[in-house]
Structure formats: structure tokens, C-alpha cells
Structure 1
Amino acid sequence: MGLMQQDDSLPGVSYVMPVLNEVEHVEAAVRSLLAQDYAGEVEVILALGPSIDGTTELIEAMSARDPRIRFLDNPVGSTPAGLNVAIRASVFPVVIRVDAHSVLTPDYTAVAVETLLRTGADNVGGIMLAEGTSAFERAVAFAYGSPVGLGGGSHHVGGEEGPSETAYLGVFQRHRLLEVGLFDEDIKRGQDWELNRRLRQTGGTVWFTPRLTVTYRPRSSLRRLTRQFVATGLWRGELARRFPAQNSVRYFVPPLAVVAMLLGTIAGLVGAITVSLGGAAWPLLGFAVPGLYLLGVIAVALACIPQLGAGAALRLLVVLPCIHIGWGLGFVIGFAKLTRNISYYRGR
């Protein structure tokens, strides 16, 4: 089914969102969907995992107030399973993936559909603009949108419009999702990259445009941030092992840095032992590797004080290592297949 109707009206849009224990954020996310400046028909489909924080009750109340909101059970609870449940239940030719931590700008749908129609792309995505309220969240938001944090991918820092390897969230032609078999439910994180890989392999186009902006609410605690990035690294390592020829070199920078710091620390400790026994001191140079990294983190934090304020900038001393080391360590474990239960890691 084509995107344009026979009377040239705008295509209907189905927003799909997997939700699990998101009582803090989901209402704002859904409200941003219902407030879209878009003339076509819309529906909101929420796939509810087994939440224990009141999320289900909140969504039930929201659905009772607005018939455009539907909810379905996602007993598995994972993101790809929830997305597939919602996509199969959708009725419109355009599917817009939404995250419970995301808030869409009012023109997001209109710009996305216009871009789909203009380019003929299978999937369109834009920029994830992280915004925090607490000092910790502001530090995380800075790391998301900076090359010193997540490496400077276009969906974090922007770039020229055009074909892309992957896309943040995604606005899809529904029939193409069905043709390639929807999301792989065995991949709990990074399933968007893997799906876009299949779209491109079957002749489709994934398109990036900086005109699309999604406000993202970062994790609010160090524990949640650590879990998120260890899980993300685990699955990126798993994907790099499964598809070695299709991964950008930048994915290997954090794990190589983690290995270098680990080896440097071991060498330094060996040096400390040999010096105490009257032996050679040169292995102490190994401490230079983690030392230089820590100096770099401190320099970034100090340089960001005018921009972020002292509270948020100093929290970068914890946030940046959490992101870099958590992601890199997870990658090493996933790539080396050192865990038998990788399917457990969802990054919640």
C-alpha cells in the first residue's frame, strides 16, 4: 500500500511504543504524540510489559480518556517483542517508533512523512536531543550530545541530510517492516541497527535528516545509567561478532580503550611489585594509560563548568567513565561471548 491515498490526503500514522516500568515518563511521551501538528489520521499503540510501578494503571486511565490510545499485552517485556506486537496491530501505512523516554516536537510527524514521501526511504530518523533536569541528568545529556561522550554520531550531534547506516527510533513504511520480518526478538538492544541492516540489504534506504528532533530524557541515577550502557555494550559486541563486516570502526574504540587501560593498570601493578623487590621500574609506565584517560576526563569536566555549571560539570567525572567503561566492558564481554545469558540484558 502506497503512502499517499487515492485522494492525495496524508497517510495515516501509527505510533508504536513498548513500555515497561516507565510511570515517570510515559505520559509526557504520549501527550507529545497526541499534540502533533499533523492532518492525517493517527493511532497510538502501547505494548505493555509486566510493569510493577503503576505504568499499566496509568496507561489504562489514559486510554479510557482518549480512544486514539490503545494498549496491548507484551508478556515477554522486551523492546523488540513489544514493537512487533504493536506493529502487527497497527492499521496505517506509516509506523513511527517512539520511546517512553522521548518527547516529539510538534512538527515531527509532518516533517517525517514529508521526508518519506520526498525521498522514498524505508525509514527516516533524526537527532536525539537529550535534556535533563537534575545536575546528574544534565551531565548525561551533555555526554549524549558530545563527541567526547558517545562519539559524535549524526543522530547525536547532527549532520548533513542523506542516506545513513541506521536511524534513531525511526519512521517506517509499514509494508517494508513486514517484508523484512519486523524486529529480531532475539536481539534485546541494538535491534534498530540490525533491522536497518536488513532494510538496506534488501534494496531499501535509511535516511537521516537533522530537521527531525526528539527530546530524550536521560537515566536519572548512576545505577540505571550503568545498567543501560553495560547492556548496550553487550549487545553491540554481540552484533559486531555476528556481523563483523558491517560495523563501523568507531564501535571498537571504547572496548580497545578499556583493554588498554586494564593492561596498563596490570603493568603498573607489576611495576610496583618489581620496584619493591628491587627490580626494574619501567612497568610503572603502564599507569600512564589510565592516568591520561583520567586527566582527559578531568579536563573535559573543568572546561564544561561555564556551560553546565559546577554541579553538572563535576558529575561528568563519574558520568563519562560510566558511559565509556560500561559500554566498552560490555562490548568485550558480548564480543567474546563471555556470558551465556546475554538475552537477559535489556538495559532497563
Structure 2
Amino acid sequence: MMEYSNRNITVSVILPVYNEEKYIEACIVSLLRQDFPQDSMEWIFVDGCSKDNTKQIIGSYKQKYPNLIEVLDNPNKTVPYAMNIGIKAALGKYIIRLDAHAEYANDYILKCVHYLDTTDAENVGGVAETKSRGYVGKSIALMLSSKFGVGNSQFRTKGKSGYVDTVPFGAFRKEVFEKYGLYDERLTRNQDNEMNFRIRKNGGKIYMADDINLAYYCRDSIKGIVEMAVKNGKWNVITSKLCPGAMGIRHFIPFVFLMSLIIMSILTFMMPILGWLFVAELGLYLLFDLMFSIKSASKVKYIPFLLILFPIFHLSYGFGSLVGLIRGNMIR
């Protein structure tokens, strides 16, 4: 085998990881099946001080593939720090940012490189099939694949190839980071949205190809999806404050919905005649809830749980934005 330092690296894959022992092995196995030549790749795992067996699992694969796998430490723990550590260490012409919660089609890396070479996009990504385990997890996956659940998020709702505002993770030429700068380390979340906004604001394009495929494993419990929704909602507000324009209108619809319920409740209490507006709003939401629960369910057994999941997710997301608005100066 050639020495690592003498290899002609074309692609640097960067994976921020933290406590991923449930998912990391399947992720690595999917990378080992890639059609792209291993001799032309390096995989840089940037570990945020994992407390489980994540690093040991990666280490066992590093022993088998020492010229392919590199493990770096991220004492700051968050994704933007991890990405910047990886980018600075990367040797490749292309930077492909991946997530350990996912498995990738055999041609994922090959097609990312193909579209970077054949389009004028500065970031390329694909379509994510949301998966999970168990009845609750599969119900959550169905909700997160619905336009009623996540809005017009093309990569989550099986959108068609074309130019978009954001893609999952992303594949870049390395010079993109020299041109636009590294990831914003202030952002615990939404760093991908901010990076893509910065590219678009400066005249660059983001391309989503519907034949670039990955399977993303979402939360598999009510507690997990509520925590995710609250944090996402909170960081949408914080990101908008730190980086105006980085977040789209769709990110704040749950907040508007929650506030409308609160305001209409107060107005109805003060002026009972307005109660019909409140009832009309609730009735319309429940109608959409029923319609999309039926439409989203792959099997009848998921419909009752989806009826509950949609409002739980929307209200939790909206509550997170409210928290972010109230505590906007307390960035964590």
C-alpha cells in the first residue's frame, strides 16, 4: 500500500461525530461500498469528545484502513468547529460533508463529484430518505417526509433535480471555502443553511440532484423529536439574529401558528364574539392534520399516531422559536 502522504487525494470526506455508536458502523460500511476509488479518498472523522464507543468503533476500522481513515479531535464539540478542523486538514480537491446518522448509496460520492464537474453549482447535494426504527420512529420518519410536517424542504420531500436554497450536508470544491470563508462557529445549528445562504448571496448556486441518494435516521422517540424541534426552533431565531437572511420563511411558520393560537385565545377571552375565528383556525388545522396523516401513512396503523405527531412537532418547534426570541442573547 502507498504511504498516506504520497497518495493523490481527490476527495476528502469529513464526518463530524459525537456519541454515534448506534449508527457509525452502518455509515462506515456504506462508505466502504462506494464506487469512487478508495485510493483517491480520505475520510476524516472529527470527534466531539464522544462518551460512548464511537471513537473505538472508528478506530477498529482505522486499523484495517490506515491510509483511508483519519480521526481528529474536536474539543469544542459542535459541527461548525468539526467541519473547520476537517477542512483545514483536508488534502482533497473536493470536500464532501457527511453525517454519521446516515447511510449512502454506492454511487453517492461519485455522483457528487460528477455534478460538481458538470454544473455551475458551488455546492451539490441529494435527496434524503428519512428512516427510523420501531413504530414510533417510523411514524416520525413519515411525518418528517411530509410537506405538512417540514414545509417545502425539497431534499426531505423527494423534490426534483434543480437549483435550491439548501441541500443536506453538501459537496464542495475546496476553493469554495477560500472564496466564501469557513463555517460560522457561532452556530450550534443551521450552519449548513448559513453557509448556503452565504454562497447564494455572493452569486453562487446550490444544486440538488434527485439521483444522489442517502438514508437519514431520525429520532425514534417522542422525547427525541420534541427536543429536536425545540432546539431547531430556538436556533432558527438565533441564526436569523446573527446572520440575517440565512433562514427562510418556512422555518418560522410553526412560530406564527403557535402565536396565532395564543393571541386568538386571549382575544376570544376578551371578546367572545371572535371565538368563531379561533374555532375556524383550529378546525382548518385539524382538517389538514387528518388529510396529511392519511396521505403520509404508508400503512393504516400509522394514521392515529401521525394525527398526534404533527401538532406535537409543530407546537414544539414554535415554542422553541418563542424561547429563542425571549432568550436571544443567551446563545448556547
How far is the alpha carbon of 1:162 from its aligned partner?
A: 2.7
Question: Which deviates more from structure 2 when the two are superposed, residues 239-248 or residues 39-48?
Answer: 239-248
1:282 maps to 273
How far is the alpha carbon of 1:35 from its aligned partner?
A: 1.1
d(CA) in 2 for partners of 1:304 and 1:38?
A: 35
| 1:263 and 1:286 in contact (8 A); partners too | no
- Listed as ranges, the gaps of 5+ residues in structure 2 are 1-7
1:85 maps to 85
1:18 maps to 16
How far is the alpha carbon of 1:187 from its aligned partner?
A: 0.7
How far is the alpha carbon of 1:301 from its aligned partner?
A: 3.0
- Listed as ranges, the gaps of 5+ residues in structure 1 are 1-9, 272-279, 344-348
SS in 1 for 2:313: helix
Give the TM-score of the pair, scaled to structure 2: 0.88
d(CA) in 1 for partners of 2:228 and 2:44?
A: 25
Of 309, 316, 326, which residue of structure 1 is paired with 2:306? 316
SS in 1 for 2:215: strand
SS in 1 for 2:82: helix
1:43 maps to 42
Instruction: Indicate yes or no: 2:103 matched with 1:114.
Output: no
Q: Percent identity?
A: 29
1:216-261: CA deviation from partner (whole Å, max 9, x where unpaired): 0011111111111111111112233344456433233221111112
User: Matches of residues 199-278 of structure 1 in structure 2 within 5 Å?
Assistant: 199-245=199-245, 247-268=247-268, 270=269
1:329 maps to 319
Instruction: Indicate yes or no: 2:295 matched with 1:297.
Output: no
d(CA) in 2 for partners of 1:151 and 1:317?
A: 17
d(CA) in 2 for partners of 1:122 and 1:299?
A: 38
SS in 2 for 1:140: helix
1:152-199: CA deviation from partner (whole Å, max 9, x where unpaired): 321112334332222211011112123322111101111011111222
- The verdict on how the C-alpha distance between 1:337 and 1:122 changes in structure 2, with shifts beyond 3 A counting, is farther
- The verdict on how the C-alpha distance between 1:184 and 1:337 changes in structure 2, with shifts beyond 3 A counting, is farther
Aligned residues: 322
1:39-86: CA deviation from partner (whole Å, max 9, x where unpaired): 361111111112222222222222222221211111111111111111
SS in 2 for 1:157: coil
2:5 maps to none
1:55 maps to 54
SS in 1 for 2:169: strand
| 2:146 and 2:292 in contact (8 A); partners too | no
User: Matches of residues 64-75 of structure 1 in structure 2 within 5 Å?
Assistant: 64-67=63-66, 68-75=68-75
| 2:95 and 2:174 in contact (8 A); partners too | yes
d(CA) in 1 for partners of 2:260 and 2:92?
A: 50
CA RMSD of aligned residues (A): 2.3
- The verdict on how the C-alpha distance between 1:200 and 1:130 changes in structure 2, with shifts beyond 3 A counting, is same
